Amino acid sequence: MTQHLTQSPQFFLTAPSPCPYLEGQLERKVFTHLSGAKAVEMNDLLTQGGFRRSQNIAYRPACETCQACVSVRILAQEFKTSRNLQRVLHKNQDLVSSISNTPPTSEQYLLFQTYLEARHHLGGMSDMSALDYAMMVEDTHVDTKIIEYRKRGPDSFITGKGEGELIALALTDQMADGLSMVYSFFNPDMEERSLGTFMILDHIERTRTMGLPHVYLGYWVHGSPKMDYKTRFQPQEHLGPQGWQRYQKNK
């Protein structure tokens, strides 16, 4: 008897649980593990197919009665900065973004905890320890970057790095066709800076500089006001039954 070995991933389905975005809805997720020599290639394919990554897990919604979660990606090379977004860039012109080449730090974890306590204190990540945070960052088989945002220092134009306190951070996957923003957080006391928006603008510029087409933002949830910000970055594509198609936000 001949055995046929396959490298195809195995997919699993979670049990129903309350949806964190839409009241009264139940969510389920289909997921698979990302590991081994094909992890980078598999992460690219799955992200392009509407999956998100968390550590070594790739997942996407598989809800039985709802299809509100829609994968979003920005067309970076065609992106035009609106007046409102230009104001965000102006407010943060004193910040420098740079890729951290060190392991996760206590400074990062303290900012992470401060952000969760202010924005998601009842969420599933609120009780994460420093070790849990380090695992979130380091437990991966794909090409992941830590991008830090700090105030500009006198030598920033030489070193390319900021020298002030850590203000924001993005955990980002480098993909063959662009960047995927896995998770980001920031100082919640600096709300006037619109740091979440600023980090997306920075990722668009990084992607343009690399000559790549897409910035993946994860899911826009139709009917969830806190997800509406994702449609501000035009032009963008949404993943539907017919594949990726352009989405135009109603004025």
Which pair of tokens denotes residue 208?
């343009």
Helix (H, G, I), strand (E, B), or coil: what is residue 76?
A: helix
CA dihedral 190, 179, 86, 91 (to 10 degrees): 20
The pLDDT value given to residue 2: 43
How many CB atoms lie under 10 A from the CB of residue 11?
Answer: 13
Q: Residue 243 maps to which CATH number?
A: 3.40.630.30
Which of 24, 40, 68 is the last residue before a domain boundary? 68
Written as tens digits, the pLDDT of the chain (251 aa) is: 344 444 678 999 999 999 988 999 999 999 999 988 899 999 999 999 999 999 999 999 999 889 999 999 999 999 999 999 999 999 999 999 999 988 999 999 999 999 999 886 555 676 789 999 999 999 889 999 999 999 988 887 777 787 889 999 999 999 999 999 999 999 999 999 999 999 999 999 999 999 999 999 999 998 888 888 999 999 999 999 999 999 977 65
- Evaluate the CA torsion angle 83, 84, 87, 92 in order and state its sign: negative
DSSP letter string, 145-169: EEEEEEE--TTHHHHS---S-EEEE
On whether residue 4 sits in a domain, the answer given is: no
The pLDDT value given to residue 8: 76
Domain that holds residue 166: 73-247
The pLDDT value given to residue 7: 63
Residues 106 and 201 in one domain: yes
On whether residue 46 sits in a domain, the answer given is: yes
Residues 31 and 119 in one domain: no
- Evaluate the CA torsion angle 25, 125, 46, 199 in order and state its sign: positive
Residues 174 and 241 in one domain: yes
On whether residue 162 sits in a domain, the answer given is: yes
Q: How far apart, in whole angstroms, are the C-alpha atoms of residue 86 and residue 100? A: 26
Residues 44 and 104 in one domain: no
Alpha-carbon distance values, 137 to 41, 64, 113, 234 (Å): 19, 31, 14, 29
On whether residue 2 sits in a domain, the answer given is: no
The pLDDT value given to residue 177: 97
The pLDDT value given to residue 12: 96
On whether residue 3 sits in a domain, the answer given is: no
Residues 131 and 201 in one domain: yes
Residues 170 and 49 in one domain: no
How buried is residue 26: exposed, middle or buried, by Cβ count under 10 Å (0-12/13-18/19+)?
middle
In terms of Cα–Cα distance, which of 51, 61, 57 is closest to 35? 57
Contact 199, 182 (CB under 8 A): no
How many CB atoms lie under 10 A from the CB of residue 140?
Answer: 22
Residues 48 and 172 in one domain: no
On whether residue 5 sits in a domain, the answer given is: no
Residues 140 and 225 in one domain: yes
Structural domains in the chain (count): 2
The pLDDT value given to residue 5: 41
Residues 62 and 92 in one domain: no
Helix (H, G, I), strand (E, B), or coil: what is residue 203?
A: helix
Residues 118 and 233 in one domain: yes
Tell me how long the chain is.
251
Angle at CA of residue 222, ends 29 and 16, nearest 5°: 25
Which of 26, 48, 68 is the last residue before a domain boundary? 68
Residues 61 and 83 in one domain: no
Which of 25, 53, 68 is the last residue before a domain boundary? 68
Amino acid at 158: I
Q: How far apart, in whole angstroms, are the C-alpha atoms of residue 178 and residue 48? A: 10
How buried is residue 48: exposed, middle or buried, by Cβ count under 10 Å (0-12/13-18/19+)?
buried
Residues 40 and 153 in one domain: no
Contact 26, 65 (CB under 8 A): yes
Give the predicted TM-score (pTM) of the model.
0.90
